[in-house]
Each structure stands twice: as C-alpha cells, then as structure tokens.
Structure 1
Amino acid sequence: MSLDRIAELLELAEAEALWGYESVAPPEIVETLGMASTRIGGGVVLAVRNDVTDYWSKALGFGFSEPVTADLVGEITAFYREQGVRLATLQFAPAALPADWDAIREKEGITEGSRWLKLARLAGLVESAETDLRIDVVGPEDAAQWASVLTRGFGMPEEHFAPMVQGVVERPDWSAYAAWDGDQMIAAASVVIKGEVAEFAGASTLPSHRGRGAQSALLAARARHAAAAGVKWLSGETGKPAEGEQNRSLNNMLRTGFEIRYERENWIWRP
C-alpha cells in the first residue's frame, strides 16, 4: 500500500472523528458555542465561533478525493468568514499540498502554526501496561463524568465542551474508556472505528494523577479493542515537542508500537 493511500486512511479517520465529536452536541450547546459544519472537497470544515480554546475550528481530510487548489482553500476560508470565526486551523497531509501552496496561503492570509506528528501502527494485541488503576469501558451512565474528565484533562473549560463531546459515548462506532483510582475516574480516552482504521481520538489524565500509567494502559486497552474489531491500522496524532523537550503522549504511543508516519503543519487562518 502506498504512503499516500495510508495517509488518506489516517487523515480521513481523524477527520471523521473530529466530525463525530462536534456533531453530537445538544442544540443549546450548538447555539451557545456558535457551531457549524460542512463538507467540502472530500474533507470536513468545522466552525466553533465562541471557542475560547481556539482548538475546535478545524478543516482537515483534504487532497484525496480531489486536489487541494486555490478554489478549494477559498471555499474553506469563505465558510469561516461567514461563520464569524476568529481563528481556524487547516490541516493537510504533506503529500496533499500542491506545488503552489505558498502562493495560496499568502493570498488567504494563512500562516504557519505548530507541528503535529501523525502516528500509526498495524493492529495487533498489545500487552496491558502495568498500573494500579482500574481500566474499563465507559457506559452511558458514566458518559457525563467521562466527558468532564476528558475536557478537564486537556485544560478545557468543561461547562460547554463536556456536553459537546459527551454524546460520542453512545455512538455505535465509538468506544469510550477510562481509568479509575478507586471510585474516582481520573483519565478518559476514546477510539472510533472507521473502515480499516481505528482512530485513537483523544485521551487525557487529570493533573493530580499523571505519571501513574493511565495513558499507557488506555492505549493498550484501545489497541485490544481495535484488534477485536478486525481493523488493519491504529492511528493517532500528537504535538511535536520542541527541541530538548518531551511529549509524554508521544513517548507512550511509541512504546505501544506506534511509528511516526509524517509531520504535519497546523496552518492558521485568521480573517
């Protein structure tokens, strides 16, 4: 399988995972956050006008069903202008960027942001990581708590963002996992099955319980779930650490057998 084909599988799985998170928000949260979404050129464009974190307005999954062109990028930025978004992140696999990308982004006012690493591995059984925490699947009765832990672990205000993501727990293609210290849920994670790919769609631990193996154990649990589902690839992404710094999420994924497939720029658009 070619690198471009693998990139396509990974990018589209990530795009559908983000679409899933933002498509389950209750109507009152949609209104409060100013949420809107559309599909353009094979990718997804997600707008959250009142996002204090500047994380959720993203466009990704492009360059596979049709090429990335000036017209396509213009459609994306026009949507964000219409929605009144103050900042959006455009994510393209490096292989999807056209030769005239610099000219396109200069015209649209798109600048370089941080870099992410796209990681993947072939599916297979992963041994349980050693931890004294209890790792288990999350059911509907714990969905609200799971969403609270997930958002707080990322440092996001839970008032609006926890209700936004809570609904994925009950979606048929999603599975939510958590780690408990006694009766207290202290880490949350999710995995979504999209065709041949299991997308590891986010995981976080509360600051009070970091360093106790929760993330490694949650990676292993989700990997076993994906193997049982019969997928071919496990996929995930995390930030590229600055020189001389460490990214614990990256280290945990590498220990679980993930490999870095490519670096991806976060391209920043502002009106």
Structure 2
Amino acid sequence: MRSMFADVVLARRIEAAESGLTREVAEAVRAHGTREVLLRALGGLGVGVWIGGSPFDKVIGWGFGDAEAEDAALRGFEDAVRSREGAVQLELSTLADLSRADALIARGYTLVGAENVLGMRLDRASLAPPAIEVRRARDDEGDAWIDTVVNGFEHPDGAHVAAHEAFPRDALVQVFHDIAGAQGYRRYLAMREGAIAGGASLRVHRDENGAIAQLAGAATLPAHRRRGVQSALLRARLRDAAEAGCDLAVVTTQPGSRSQHNAQNAGFALLYTRLVLVRGA
C-alpha cells in the first residue's frame, strides 16, 4: 500500500464526499415526509443540515470556499436552526481556512471535540481476504443489521474514547434507517460460529478523480470482541471498494480510540483532524 500525505486538494475531495453523504441523508429523510429537514448549501463544498436529534445535524465542508459567501450562508443557516431552538454543530477541517475559527468563537461557538480522518490508497492485489466470514446483508436483513450495529454502539469497548455527543437507541436506529437512502450505500454482516458477530457499512462516492470509499457504522457485539471481527469487516469492505473502482478509502474515528488503532494497524494513515464547534440553542 502506498503511503499518504494529505494536502488541501485531497482534503477538499474527502470533505466533498462527506458533504455529499450528509446531503443525501437529509434528502432521504425529507422524502419520507415525517420530519422537518433544514438543508442549506453554504457555498463551496459546505452543506448545513438540521433534522433535530440526528448525528447528521451538522455543517460539513465549510471553510474551503469564498469567506464572505460562506460566512453569509452560515449565518442564515444559524438563524434558521436557532429559530427552531436547535444548536448548530460545525465540523471544521484543519486543512480548511482556520483563520476563520476566531470569528466563529467570537459569536458564540465552543470547541467541544475533534475527530480524525484517516485514509488509505487502495490496491486490490495487496488486500488479503478476511479470516472471518463477511458478507453483504440481504434486503430482508436490514433490521438485523441495524440491531447488531446499534447493540455494538450501546456497549462501547473498554478502550473506547468518549465522543463529544451521544444519542439514545431510538435515534441511532432512526439514523441507520435514514442513511440507507444514500446512494452507493452497502451493509455488511460478519458471521462467527454460525451467528451474527458484527456489522459495518460502506458508501462509494464517485467524483471526477475516481471514487472514494467511505467506511462507517462498524460495530462488534460484545460476546464476539477480540476475535478479529473488526479486522475482517475492514478487509472485506476494502476489497469490495477496490473492486468497485475506488482509489481511496477513508474512515473517521475518535482520537485515540480503538477504532483508530485498528485502522492504523490495517494501513490507514492519519490525514487531518476536524474540529467540532457548537453554537448552542
């Protein structure tokens, strides 16, 4: 596997993929017609979404475009969210224009956390098959997949680093239903001793440079931990991504978490960090 270095060009490409996912989830929720959805383009790559109590309530891809246009669009989005008594969460890449962070803090944003973005160049020939059976979840296994991943998230590993936010079970179940509406989204199940041991997901985002594999939603049931389930889920998705034409795989983790440890052991490199800033309701 080739080593990686992240410059602004690569960061823009990754943030565009993340913005695309966030937009598609919001559009899928809006299409259901059961919840109000705020969805705003914020100039350049940026997009702002507020559903209310969702992990996709955020501003992403902001800070790479024209400062005046992005700032004006963000203020409009803030007003819309605050009129609904919501909070605005902004995830700012450290390869974006960080000079604008001071203005955000001056008008009420607080730094509440960070997340790391890791990447790997893909070459299918160098990807060994997983040692544990991993397969695509069938259409009739959607509920089983959600139950597996949510149960894994509800029982974090002892080495897990606490995130800056947490969601109740019903919100997690809902978001995994929502994300299934995104284009190029695939769900995977890991099997061990004839039983479901874990689940994970992959989204293929195509752009003018090729395709990016976005890895997310990986969790192992407590009874099956320390058995290589996460490694197997990772290997299976990387092989599928390479076969689908992806030249790059990315994953987002909490700094210092076991997820980051597993990813780096598998060959991922730390590319950059996103600062998480929140302006409260």
TM-score by length of structure 2 reads 0.80
* 1:169 Cα offset (Å): 4.5
The corresponding residue for 1:161 is 172
Task: Tell me: CA distance 1:30–1:157, structure 2 relative to 1, closer, same or farther (3 Å).
Answer: farther
Q: Percent identity?
A: 23
Whole-Å separation in 1 of the counterparts to 2:267 and 2:82: 41
The answer to whether structure 1 residue 198 and structure 2 residue 209 are counterparts is no
SS at the partner of 1:95? coil
Number of aligned residues: 257
Q: What code does the residue aligned with 2:152 have?
A: G
The corresponding residue for 1:47 is 50
The corresponding residue for 2:157 is none
> Contact 1:17/1:199 (CA < 8 Å) preserved in 2?
no
* 1:152 Cα offset (Å): 2.7
Whole-Å separation in 2 of the counterparts to 1:102 and 1:210: 42
Alignment of 1:24-35 (within 5 A): 24-25=28-29, 30-31=34-35, 35=37
SS at the partner of 2:62? coil
The corresponding residue for 1:94 is 94
Whole-Å separation in 2 of the counterparts to 1:252 and 1:46: 30
Task: Tell me: CA distance 1:160–1:118, structure 2 relative to 1, closer, same or farther (3 Å).
Answer: closer
The corresponding residue for 1:244 is none
The answer to whether structure 1 residue 262 and structure 2 residue 272 are counterparts is yes
Whole-Å separation in 2 of the counterparts to 1:252 and 1:22: 30
> Contact 2:6/2:272 (CA < 8 Å) preserved in 1?
no
The answer to whether structure 1 residue 187 and structure 2 residue 198 are counterparts is yes
Whole-Å separation in 1 of the counterparts to 2:26 and 2:190: 24
Task: Tell me: CA distance 1:261–1:111, structure 2 relative to 1, closer, same or farther (3 Å).
Answer: same
* 1:257 Cα offset (Å): 1.2
> Contact 1:116/1:266 (CA < 8 Å) preserved in 2?
yes
Whole-Å separation in 2 of the counterparts to 1:141 and 1:43: 35
In structure 1, list runs of 5 or more residues that go unmatched: 242-246
> Contact 1:26/1:164 (CA < 8 Å) preserved in 2?
no
The answer to whether structure 1 residue 210 and structure 2 residue 228 are counterparts is no
In structure 2, list runs of 5 or more residues that go unmatched: 155-166
TM-score by length of structure 1 reads 0.83
Q: What code does the residue aligned with 1:24 have?
A: A
* 1:80 Cα offset (Å): 1.8
* 1:35 Cα offset (Å): 4.3
How big is each residue's C-alpha offset from its partner over 1:206-263, in whole Å with a ceiling of 9 and x where there is no partner? 233222211111111111111111122111110112xxxxx21111111221100112
The answer to whether structure 1 residue 84 and structure 2 residue 82 are counterparts is no
> Contact 1:199/1:235 (CA < 8 Å) preserved in 2?
yes
Whole-Å separation in 2 of the counterparts to 1:18 and 1:59: 9
